[in-house]
Chains A and B, each alone.
Chain A
Amino acid sequence: MQRVATEPRPDWREHVERDLGFVFHTIDGAPYWDETACYRFTAAEVDALEDATAELEQMALALVDRVVASGGRDQARLRIPEAAWGAIERSWKSAERNLYGRFDLSYDGNGPPKLLEYNADTPTALFEAAVVQWDWLEALWPGRDQFNSLHERLIEAWKNFGIGRRRVHFAAVKNHAEDEGTVEYLRDTATQAGLQTARVAVEDIGWDGRRFLDLDGRPIEVLFKLYPWEWIVGEAFGEHLLAGAAQVIEPAWKMVLSNKAALALLWEMAPDHPNLLPAALEPNLLEGTLVRKPIFGREGANVQVIERDRVVAETGGAYGAEGFVYQAHAGLPAFDGNYPVIGAWVVASQPAGIGIREDSTAITRDTSRFVPHYFE
């Protein structure tokens, strides 16, 4: 695994906007899509990432099974409100399908990739990984390979959902170009799979006492929501969705995995697994430098690095009311002063590729840059 400086295509901005519809390449004036560098992997390194991703997904599914069977004990430890337990169990026992997820891994080419966290419910950076980095490689080195079959796998996954002639409504919050772009890309893949689709803003979803409706009064039967279950549960219409008023993608059982306390339960289930970092709900169960993360935290907010009871690095934010999980400090590898996190994707629970985000600090936040990759 090497970081390689590359010459940006002179017209890349115009090209990705016009030909790919990629409009969030620059966020708040700072570059987000960054093709001044890329990462080069060997085939063996990609195999290691693929195997680790497959293994982690199998462990994650085993954990859901274990939590559902715990009769409330693990749900409580995960701080999942009791109102959601029934929906989680029903969606799991009826084998509701899932579309996608992203494992964030620490990896430098040596030793096993280590799981930092699993974005199982509302992952973004999908379009960049599936399309933009693929298009970049095809433009510069079409003969080279990339660990990225996301696009093909997404179309295939939609065909296997059993949706039939029901319309899929795609929902994101308003006024967030990145969320809207992610949802519109997923709608693109669903359209190519032959599904009927529509868009509705999360805020515009209606309830008539019996069904969810879009702004045209059409019933919402299947809902893809880029909106976290843990928020849905606490909001006014949450009870209707939990009662099964629509089929939801991702399914309710993803609540077990999108929760950072799941890292501690994974470690309990598979202690010393080579792809896991030691994690616990109590800091005194772990040794050495620790990272404290909010159970329902997002975008790197409210993270602390703790060394011998002293906070040595910290990010701000408004999360943490539900408590924290503690994880042994992995120490992200540094490449020329950049700290990459490898987002390893699963589609329909199968490894589907990677996307790399870099930050200039060791806590990856929403200011990180997306950097493409290839392997040979």
Chain B
Amino acid sequence: MKKSKAIRLVLLGGTGLTLAACDEPPPNDARFFASLDECTAVHSQAVCEDALGKSAQTHLAEAPRFAAKEQCEAEFGAGNCETRGEGMGSYFLPMMMGYMLGNAFSRPVYRGPDGGAFTRSGGKFYNVGNFAAAGRGAPFQPGQIAQVQRGGFGSTASAFRSSAGT
């Protein structure tokens, strides 16, 4: 065979499951993981992958949707939203950046404008941690102030009004 044996997507797609909304905050034993890697340091690979898959499905079914990117970014911060759908049917939603895992509990986690980690349960958002603190690869450094320049990439694409892929 020259074809892939199985294909699973953890960020894209899903099975369109609609889970019943609950009014409960995340249970106390649930923990926030910013990546599969962080999760597997605590749980087995199978448990982590299962929770990641379920969270991704919940994300697609339940993530808040916005008509305009600006509306989404006003809530979740610049660069934390993505688009779905096509043409008139397109919309914006926050990107799933991590997930919560507890006993019989998994939920997608979104990044807020200040790096905070948020998950939605029963229509309400709960702050469950901080991305800067969670990522071992990027230690949180309070008080560090540097002059950051932006916009140093992208001018050619905008001049050609072109996509950058071929």
Contact = CB atoms under 8 A, between A and B. Distances in A.
| Interface residue range, chain A | 35 or more
Contacts of B148: 206-208, 213, 217
Contacts of A366: 163
Contacts of B8: 192
Interface in A340-376: 353, 366, 375
A122 B164 contact: yes
B34 A196 contact: yes
Interface in A178-215: 178-182, 184-185, 187-188, 191-192, 194-210, 213-215
A358 to B, nearest CB: 17
Interface in A12-42: 17-26, 29
B10 A218 contact: no
22 contacts: A18-B16, A24-B86, A25-B86, A119-B166, A173-B157, A176-B164, A179-B164, A180-B82, A180-B83, A184-B11, A184-B12, A188-B12, A192-B8, A197-B35, A203-B150, A208-B146, A215-B77, A217-B115, A218-B135, A226-B165, A235-B154, A298-B162
Interface string B1-14: 11111011111111
Contacts of B34: 196
Interface string A98-132: 00000000000000000000010111100100110
B119 to A, nearest CB: 18
Contacts of B79: 199-201, 204, 214-215
B107 interface: no
A231 B164 contact: yes
B16 to A, nearest CB: 5
Interface of B: 1-5, 7-16, 34-38, 40, 52, 60, 77-80, 82-87, 90, 95, 97, 111, 115, 131-132, 135-138, 146-158, 160, 162-166
Given A19-B15, A191-B36, A299-B166, 7 more contacts: A17-B86, A18-B14, A131-B9, A134-B3, A147-B3, A173-B163, A173-B164
A123 B11 contact: no
Q: Mostly helix, strand, loop or mixed at chain A's interface?
A: mixed
Given A196-B34, A202-B154, A208-B147, A228 B164 contact: yes
Q: Which 5 A-B pairs have the closest CB atoms?
A: A237-B152, A124-B165, A21-B12, A203-B154, A231-B156
Nearest to A237: B152
A191 B162 CA distance: 28
Most buried by A among B1, B132, B150: B150
